[in-house]
Amino acid sequence: MRIDLRVPSPWYDRVEPRVISILKRLLIAVAVCGVLVGAAAGYIASVPAFGKHAAGNRQRRIEGSPQWKDGKFRTEEPMWSNLWASLRRGLAPSPTSAPSGEVDRLASHGDQFDTPPSSGLRITWFGHSSTLVEIDGARVLTDPIWSERASPVHWAGPKRWYEPVLPIDALPPLDAVLVSHDHYDHLDMGSVSALAARGARFIVPLGIGAHLAYWGVPEAQISELDWLQTESAGPVEVTATPARHASGRINPQANQTLFASYAIIGRNHRVYFSGDTGYFAALASIGHAYGPFDVTLIESGQYNDTWPDWHMGPEQAVEAHRQLRGKVLIPIHWGLFTLAPHGWTEPVERVLAAARCQAVRVMTPRPGESVEPEKQSVTARWWPDLAWESAAQSPVLSTRDGTTENRFVLPPCSSGD
CA distance 165 to 369: 9
Q: What is the pLDDT of residue 32?
A: 42
Encode pLDDT of 326-344 as tens digits: 999 999 999 999 999 999 9
Encode pLDDT of 41-50 as tens digits: 444 557 999 9
Q: What is the pLDDT of residue 30?
A: 44
271 and 121 in contact (C-beta within 8 Å)?
yes
pLDDT at 413 over 60: yes
Task: Please provide residue 414's backbone torsions phi and psi, each rounded to the nearest 5 degrees.
Answer: -75, -5
Give the lowest-confidence range in 20-34, 119-133, 216-230, 376-390: 20-34
Task: Specify the amino acid at residue 18.
Answer: R
Using left for φ > 0, alpha for ψ between -120 and 50, and beta otherwise, residue 302 falls in left
pLDDT at 3 over 50: no
Q: What is the pLDDT of residue 90?
A: 77
pLDDT at 183 over 80: yes
Cα distance from N-terminal residue to C-terminal residue, the chain: 101
Q: What angle do CA 381, 316, 352 make, to 5 degrees?
A: 20
pLDDT at 11 over 50: no
Encode pLDDT of 154-172 as tens digits: 999 999 999 999 999 999 9
416 and 347 in contact (C-beta within 8 Å)?
no
> Within 10 Å of residue 69's Cβ, how many Cβ atoms?
9
What percent of the chain shows pLDDT beyond 90?
83
Exposure string for 125-147, b = 16+ CB within 10 A, e = fewer: bbbbbbbbbbbbebbbbbbbbbb
Q: What angle do CA 248, 43, 160 make, to 5 degrees?
A: 55
What is the dihedral sign for C-alpha 15, 17, 23, 24? Answer: positive
User: Which residue from 233, 231, 221 is spatially nearest to 139, judged by alpha carbons?
Assistant: 233
Helix (H, G, I), strand (E, B) or coil at 361: strand
Encode pLDDT of 352-409 as tens digits: 999 999 999 999 999 999 999 999 988 999 999 999 999 999 999 999 999 999 999 9
When comparing pLDDT for 417 and 182, which is higher?
Answer: 182
Q: What is the pLDDT of residue 7?
A: 44
The whole model's pTM is what? 0.90
Q: What is the pLDDT of residue 12?
A: 45
CA distance 1 to 410: 96
**Measured between alpha carbons, how far is residue 336 from residues 44, 97, 388 in Å?**
27, 11, 17
pLDDT at 349 over 80: yes
Mean pLDDT, range 17-36, rounded to an integer: 49
User: Which residue from 345, 413, 285 is spatially nearest to 96, judged by alpha carbons?
Assistant: 345
CA distance 198 to 176: 12
Domain residue ranges in the chain: 11-46, 72-371
User: Which residue from 129, 157, 166 is spatially nearest to 50, judged by alpha carbons?
Assistant: 157
Q: What is the pLDDT of residue 253?
A: 77
What is the pLDDT confidence band of residue 40, given thresholds at 50, 70 and 90? very low
Average pLDDT, the chain: 91
**The total number of residues written for the chain in this structure:** 417
Which residues face 178 on adjacent strands?
142, 203
Fold of 72-371: Metallo-beta-lactamase; Chain A (3.60.15)
Encode pLDDT of 229-267 as tens digits: 999 999 999 999 999 999 999 977 799 999 999 999 999
User: Which residue from 344, 355, 356 is spatially nearest to 389, judged by alpha carbons?
Assistant: 344
221 and 200 in contact (C-beta within 8 Å)?
yes
